[in-house]
Amino acid sequence: MNLEESGSGTELGTILQNVRIVDCTRDIAGPVATMLAAEMGADVVKVEPPGGDEMRHWPPFVDGESVYFVSCNRGKRSIVLNLKAEDGRRAFHGLLATADVMVENYRPGTLEKLGLGWSGPSAGSWASPA
C-alpha cells in the first residue's frame, strides 16, 4: 500500500498539512487516531518492530494483507526500527528530530525501559507538554 493508493489527505482535507507525526501505536485505537491525522494531511510515519506490527497478522486477509492493518493504517508510511537495539534507538532519535508530534500507546513504562521516555536520554527530543 502506498500513499496514492490509500488516499492520504483527501478525506478530511489538509488542515494538518506540514505536520509530521511519528506513530508508535498498536492495536486499534492508536492506529485509528493517527490514520485520521493522515486523512487530515499529516505526514504519518509508523514505527514497526522487526517482523512488522502485530496487527499485520490479524485475519481476515485480502490479497495477503490484513484488513484490520490496512484499514487502520492507510495514508501512513512505515519504517522498521528495533527500539531494543542501540542503532534502532539512534535512528528513532533522528526520526523524532524531524517530527512535530509523537503518538504512542505502549503499556505504561515501556518507553522508559527502552531509555526513550520523558526523563531518559530522549528527553532532549521531546517538547514540553505544558
Question: Could you identify the residue written with the cell 535512528?
Answer: 91
Residue 130 falls inside a structural domain: no
Q: What is the pLDDT of residue 13?
A: 84
- Amino acid residing at 92: F
Return the C-alpha cell found at 24.
508508535
Q: Is it true that the peptide bond before 60 is cis, omega within 30 degrees of 0?
A: yes
pLDDT in tens, the chain (130 residues): 444 455 554 557 899 999 999 999 999 999 999 999 999 999 999 999 999 999 999 999 999 999 999 999 999 999 999 999 999 999 999 999 999 999 999 999 999 999 898 775 455 555 544 4
Residue 125 falls inside a structural domain: no
Residue 127 falls inside a structural domain: no
Residue 121 falls inside a structural domain: no
Nearest-angstrom CA–CA distance, 17 and 30:
20
Q: What is the pLDDT of residue 3?
A: 46
Residue 51 falls inside a structural domain: yes
Nearest-angstrom CA–CA distance, 122 and 89:
9
Which DSSP category does 17 fall into?
Answer: T
Say if residue 29 is exposed, middle or buried (CB neighbours under 10 Å; 0-12, 13-18, 19+).
exposed
Query: Into how many domains does the chain fold?
Result: 1
CATH, residue 71: 3.40.50.10540
Q: Which domain holds residue 52?
A: 3-116
